Structure 1
Amino acid sequence: MKVILIKNAVETLGYFSEQLAETFQEMGHDTYFVDYDDLVNTVDGISRFAVPEKTVLCTFNFIGLSGEEVFIEENGRYIWENQGIACINILVDHPLYYHSKLAKPPVPEMRVFCIDREHVAYMKRFYPALPVEFLPLAGNCILERKVPSPIEGCHGQKQKHKNIPYQKRKYDIVFTGNYTPVEHLYREIDRQGAEYRTFYYEILEDMKAHPAVSIDRMLEAHIRKELGAVPDEELRAAIAGMVFIDICMRSYFRGEIIKCLAEHKIPVHVFGANWEKLDCSSHDYIIKNGREVDSVTCAEAIADARISLNVMPWFKDGTHDRVFTAMLQHTLSLTDDSGYLRENFTDKKELVFYSLEKREELPELVKKLLEKPEKCMEIAERGYESAVREHTWKQRAEAILMDLVK
């Protein structure tokens, strides 16, 4: 098999692609990167690399399938279709973000993977013509960095990551991710008319009160309450038109969890931008790096922590890569739960769960964990054993290839 991947379009997704590429190569497959920093040359190289019917594009979130002119040839079709290249499209966000592309697929044969089983069900209901499978995210290993070397010039030598002994780690608890002030998001809602504003705020308050409910189920309930029986085709378009609700709730709970710890005088090291904009009375306990960070820096921060905090981006039957990345760094993963995580892990065995509904209990939970480093280390080691066995990009690459040969 020959596999085409994409990098330097979205940093995180490029990092996932690099991890997949290493695995594909280890399995004996040829890989090729389309580089958004060198698009013209690397797109030109596709025809020299690809072999019709033996090549697959493995992309995320429709990158390379979003109408980019560089991928469309003179006959108006994508290079993938003209070259006989199969397309694997992994959606790491809810399908509601991609309604227009899913309703009119950009290439005739596109296979979709979703990272949450409720997303799969949503796809099967609203886009039944598209083949879709569940593929959970995987943990990120720390890919080797290049460090400057006076002997080797600017390229330098590869620096290998070594596991930091648990007792010698720099941080008690870290969170990796940016913050978007919810006030900015609410202002967008306030620009709507009074009727829409009331409707949207009712949904937001309902979601705050019931954080275990998936966004599409919550939106459908409110749309049907407002409009009655709505055909599925209209319903999916209406749900897609409220994507900002998902963004609001992600930001709201991310901020609430960090604020909850800080206001109980528990220091949290946050790696990401805009945390100074969080409305919090105890900013001294939010130790900021003050900028966006790349995936390697996130993984390195997690590797130097005793506890890695995760706040799920509204995945109710899947998981975020932060969970497995923590496990692969021998770090205790502290996360809100999901159906998928509850099915695959036991609380305080391979990880530790907390509740969004009962987030007032989180500070005491963290204090007890930090008081028992030996217990935390045991949980972290069991998490590592589970993740390295079942939740690396190697297992995900194998699942992708198995799906292709069905």
Structure 2
Amino acid sequence: MKVLIFTTRQLCYNSGYYFAHRIGEEIEKLGIECEYCEIPENAIPSAGTQIAQPAIENAGKSVDEEAEKMLESYIGKEYLAILDFNSKLPRLVLDDESYYLDSIDAPFYNFILDHPLYHHSTLDCKLKNYYAFSIDENHCKYIQNFYPHIKAVYQVALGAENVISLENLQEKKKSILIMGTYRNPDIYMKQIYNMNKYAEKNMLVMLEKLENDNEMTVENALKCIINNSNIEKDSFPLILNKYYLVEMYYRNYYRKKMVDALVNTGFHIDIAGEWWESYDKINSPNVIWNKAVRFDKSYELIAGYRALADSSPFFKGGVHDRVYAGIANYTAVMTDYNDYRNRCLQDIVQMYGQECNYEEICQKIDMMMNNDTFYKEMTQKAYEEYMNNYTWKSVAKRIIKHFLSE
């Protein structure tokens, strides 16, 4: 039987399309045929025009006519599995008020690529044959706990592509690459202050707990606040969704803190991404800002640099895919520390503490940029780890194992 792979969101820099087709290619190499369906980004109403908007903002909006015809063509068909990434599909309902996905004879796998708090409206749908993947073990536990109708949740790390050979390492640019979209954290703090006093107080306490405990997750920060209350279990994910500003501020505050520390070291910094024109140090003499590239071109960009700096404090039990992209291409990677990454990535990346200590970061960057022996040993170990666990072939094998076991 075939695997049906949807793309209902393009995600950042068209990564959704890339993930769907790259995983599909490897699944087909394993002998299982894949069928693809790409739905235009705005054809299915999402939870809002911004990822963090509550689902109710777009309630009642209809599906685009062309997209509806595409979706109807799968009704009544049978597949080994259906796969989508941060999917919009679970919310679709037919005229008889049954879920659209229940009209297809196949288990549905929703691959959640960020915190599940942003996907409450789709995770909460009571599909008959619902499964989920996540790259973070804490996110898996969260989904299992608050969405018990989802039959199983599996942690699956994303993969990466090697596009550089050992012979070309001397061509790498001796600068630190930073990738991603810049969002000024002050914007989110202002929005927190504009909430009602009860919500504002709770969110500020959550941020304090996140700041004081490197292993604290946003959901556990909320649990600390409401632990002694009589709140219903069903209400918890709704409250966390409402308090999404905590997570948005947290990730963007610590990204800016890391970038500030790197800029202050004086090392050459190249930034690739959107909206960095509003970053207050973008005109520093050691900073070059370039517009973002499509996801399928990002590996070539990363491979061209000696070092890559990552900030992803929202994954306390997982690793951002750009880290794998770095280790796949002999690029020295520095990322933020947590216990999970220390277990998985020890000796193959550099890690810095949440406080972004200037001396610590300066010392680690100096080792990555100026100590050739250290650089070669670390990146070689990292590449071997990539080959063993983080190729797209490895990802496809893990996914197929779950498809075949249900």
What letter corresponds to residue 248 of structure 1 in structure 2? Y
In the alignment, which residue of structure 2 is the partner of 1:147? none
Q: Distance in 2 between matches of 1:216 and 1:170?
A: 40
Q: Offset at 1:363?
A: 1.8
The residue number in structure 2 matching 1:140 is 160
CA gap of 1:171–1:301, structure 2 versus 1, over 3 A, is farther
Which position in structure 2 is the counterpart of 1:153?
Answer: none
Q: Indicate if the aligned counterparts of 2:367 and 2:374 stay in contact, CA closer than 8 A.
A: no
Q: Is the 8 A contact 2:307 2:331 kept in 1?
A: yes
Matched, 1:63 2:88: yes
**1:365-392: per-residue Cα shift (whole Å, max 9, x none)?**
1022211123212211211111121112
How far is 1:8 from its partner? 7.1
* Structure-2 change in CA distance of 1:64 and 1:102 (3 Å): closer
Matched, 1:100 2:121: yes
SS in 1 for 2:183: coil
Q: Deviations over 1:334-382 (max 9, x none)?
A: 11133332222323xx222222235331122102221112321221121
- Partner residue in 2 for 1:255: 256
SS in 2 for 1:324: helix
Partner of 1:355 in structure 2? Answer: 353
- Superposed, 1:4-403 pairs within 5 Å as 4-7=4-7, 9-10=9-10, 11-37=14-40, 52-67=77-92, 73-105=94-126, 107-141=127-161, 161-163=163-165, 165-224=168-227, 228-280=229-281, 283-289=284-290, 291-347=291-347, 350-360=348-358, 361-403=360-402
Residue pair 1:313, 1:320 contacting (<8 A) in 2 also: no
DSSP 3-state at the match of 2:205: helix
Q: Is the 8 A contact 1:214 1:314 kept in 2?
A: yes
SS in 2 for 1:283: coil
Letter in 2 for 1:122: Y
What secondary structure sits across from 2:214 in the alignment? coil
Query: How many pairs are equivalent?
Result: 378
What secondary structure does 1:230 align onto?
coil
TM-score under structure 1 normalisation?
Answer: 0.84
Give percent identity, aligned residues only.
21
**Aligned-pair Cα RMSD in Å:** 2.6
Deviations 1:153-179 (A, max 9, x none): xxxxxxxx4437222112421111111
Give the TM-score taking structure 2 as reference length. Answer: 0.84
Return the alpha-carbon distance in structure 2 between the equivalents of residues 200 and 77 of structure 1. 37
Q: Residue 89 of structure 2: SS of its match in structure 1?
A: coil
Distance in 1 between residues matched to 2:91 and 2:17, nearest whole Å: 16
Distance in 2 (alpha carbons) for counterparts of 1:195 and 1:52: 49
SS in 1 for 2:281: coil
Q: Does structure 2 conserve the Cα–Cα contact (< 8 Å) formed by 1:176 and 1:298?
A: no
Question: 1:272, CA displacement in angstroms?
Answer: 0.3
CA contact under 8 A between 1:318 and 1:339: conserved in structure 2?
A: no
| TM-superposed deviation, 1:32 | 1.8
For 1:92 and 1:281, the matched residues in 2 are separated by 29
* AA aligned opposite 1:260: A
What is the match of residue 158 of structure 1? none
Is the contact made by 1:319 and 1:338 (CA closer than 8 Å) also made in structure 2? Answer: no
**Contact 2:130–2:149 under 8 Å retained in 1:** no
The amino acid of 1:340's aligned partner reads Y
Q: Note if contact 1:47-1:83 (Cα within 8 Å) is conserved in structure 2.
A: no
CA contact (8 A) 1:220 1:239 kept: no
Q: Structure 1 residues 235 and 378, CA, compared in 2 at 3 Å: closer, same or farther?
A: same
Q: Which consecutive residues of structure 1, in runs of 5 or more, have no partner in the other structure?
A: 143-160
The offset of 1:258, in angstroms, is 0.6
For the residues of structure 1 that align with 2:8 and 2:238, how far apart are their CA atoms? 31
Question: Deviation per CA, 1:231-259, whole angstroms, max 9, x where unpaired?
Answer: 32233322222112111111111111011
Summarize the Cα distance change of 1:313–1:57 in structure 2 as closer, same or farther, 3 Å threshold. farther
Shift of 1:2: 0.9
Ranges in structure 2 where 5+ consecutive residues have no aligned partner: 44-64
Compared with structure 1, are the counterparts of its residues 51 and 380 closer, same or farther at alpha carbon in structure 2 (3 Å cutoff)?
farther
Name the SS for the 2:182 alignment partner: coil
Cα 1:238/1:37, change in 2 over 3 Å: closer
